[in-house]
Amino acid sequence: MSAAESSGRARKVRLSDREGFLAWAMLLPSVVYIVALVGVPFLLAIAFAFSDVTTGDPSYHFVGLRNFRAIFHDGVFWQALGNTLLFTAASMALIVVFGKILANILVADFQGKWFVRFLVLLPWTTPVALSSISWLWFLDSIYSPVDWTLRRLGLLHGNVIWLGHSGTAMLSVVFVQAWRLTPLAAVIVMAGLVAIPRDLDEAARVDGAGYWRRMFEVTIPLTLPVIAVAALFGAIMTFTDMTVPYVLTRGGPTHATDVLASWAYFRGIEGGDVGQGAAIALFLFPILLAAAIAVLRAVRRLGLR
């Protein structure tokens, strides 16, 4: 082998073999992409919150806290904040409980499991805007089959008008949100369930523990970190989501189901006041941050096992 050839080979080896260089080179594109399209817009969102930018007049003028003062004096903002918290807490509770139950069903062995899994996944894999449409018709003010069934059972005369009253509208929005995210939670919890060594469950059976004791003393403690992850996923996706209220009720009746995200959208895009919209959306951040830290800790605990 000639000297030139061997030194050429050495150089080639050095480039694609140096782990430090490779590690950066392979990671960098993703990091740059994310910083450019998540980091920068995030800072931009903060800047907008202090500006008078509108869709019609995109020139930037710093206006200090004017947008915040405006939204604080707007009753709808406070209502939306309260709605967001209620919407999130109620949906999350449902998601966790039903997600756990659903996961237990899905890891069990039975005939026709594949088909059941397929049906059960539908709510999550369907674009949320489309499934909400199915629900829109399901909860129609005149033709709702729910009403029809209730009428048949003699429990109702006329119609409930689910989306027309503030109470039932909120109930519907919460239910649909829980309905669509429960399969995701179930998949996450399933991941935790299948990670439990089979030995442990069998040891508990030999040790004399029945179904419920195994559930509460072995399975649930061992999947708690995963359940926490599922809960926080559900919480974050609900907290920041506007699709279900947007399609089902458009925030109505009279803002009864407006959440921060939908109110930011109506203000910022449809109302054209980008500054105020950004200021409203910014309120999502501190709570998100807290939730993210919580996820982090849950994941850490998961890693310890």
Partner 1 sequence: MADAVRAVQAVRSVEVRSLVKVYEGHRRMGSGTVRALAGVDLAAEPGEYLVLLGPSGCGKTTLLRTIAGLEQPTEGEVLIDGQVVNGLPPRVRQVAMVFQSYALYPHKTVRANIEFPLKAERSLGKAARAEKARWAAGLLGIEPLLDRRPRHLSGGERQRVALARALVRDPAVFLLDEPLSNLDAKTRTAARDELKRFQQRVGTTTVYVTHDQAEAMGLGDRIAVLSEGRVRQVGTPAEVYDDPADTFVATFIGAPPMNLVRRDDRLVGFRPEHLLPVEAVPSGARAERVTMPLRVERMEYLSGDRHVYGTAGGLGADTRVIARLPANVETPLHPGETHEFAVDASRLRFFDAESGVRASAVRL
Partner 2 sequence: MSSEDAAAAAMRADGVAGLRRRYARRYVMGRVALYAMAVMAALVCALPFLWSLISAFKQNQDLYNPDNDPFVFNKPATPDHVRYLFADTGFPTFVGNTLLVGTAVVAVTLLLALPAAYSLARLDRPWGTPMGIGIFLVYLVPPSLLFLSLTRVVVALGLADSLWSMIVIYPTFTVPVSVWLLIGFLKAVPKDVEEQAMVDGHSRLGAFVRIVLPLVFPGIVAVVVFAFTLTASEFVYALAFVSAAPGMVVSTGVPTQLVRGDVFYWQSLQAAAVFTAVPIAFAFNLFLDRFVTGFTMGAVKT
The residue among 68 and 239 lying less far from partner 2, judged by its C-beta, is 239
Name the DSSP class of 143. Answer: T
Contact 159, 140 (CB under 8 A): no
- One character per residue 68-97, x = contact with partner 2 (rule: CB under 8 A): ------------------------------
Binding at 263: pick from partner 1, partner 2, none (beta carbon under 5-8 Å per type)? none
Of 61-69, 166-174, 213-221, 279-287: span binding partner 2 (CB under 8 A): 279-287
The structure tokens 């909400």 sit at 132
Question: In whole angstroms, what is the distance from residue 147 CA to residue 44 CA?
Answer: 47
- One character per residue 11-50, x = contact with partner 2 (rule: CB under 8 A): -xx--xx-xx-xxxxxx-xxx-xx--xx-xxx-xx-xx--
Give the footprint of partner 2 on residues 106-165 (CB under 8 A).
108, 110, 112-123, 125-135, 137-138, 142-143, 145, 147-148, 159
Contact 266, 111 (CB under 8 A): no
Count other Cβ atoms within 10 Å, centred on residue 80. 28
Question: In whole angstroms, what is the distance from residue 182 CA to residue 269 CA?
Answer: 30
In single-letter form, the type of residue at position 137 comes to: W
The residue among 58 and 197 lying less far from partner 1, judged by its C-beta, is 197
The reply on whether position 251 binds partner 2 by CB under 8 A is: no
- Residues of the shown chain interacting with partner 1 in the complex, contacts defined by CB under 8 A: 197, 199-200, 202-210, 213, 217-218, 221-222, 305
The residue among 139 and 169 lying less far from partner 2, judged by its C-beta, is 139
Among 50, 68, 265, 266, binds partner 2 (CB under 8 A): 265
* Geometric angle at alpha carbon 21, from 18 and 22, rounded to 5°: 80
Among 65, 97, 195, 220, binds partner 2 (CB under 8 A): 195
Among 241, 245, 249, 258, binds partner 2 (CB under 8 A): 241
In single-letter form, the type of residue at position 20 comes to: G
Element of type H or E holding 35:
none
Binding at 296: pick from partner 2, partner 1, none (beta carbon under 5-8 Å per type)? partner 2
Contact 192, 225 (CB under 8 A): yes
Structure token pair of residue 2: 């000639």
Question: In whole angstroms, what is the distance from residue 210 CA to residue 99 CA?
Answer: 22
Of 75-83, 86-94, 161-169, 266-274: span binding partner 2 (CB under 8 A): 266-274
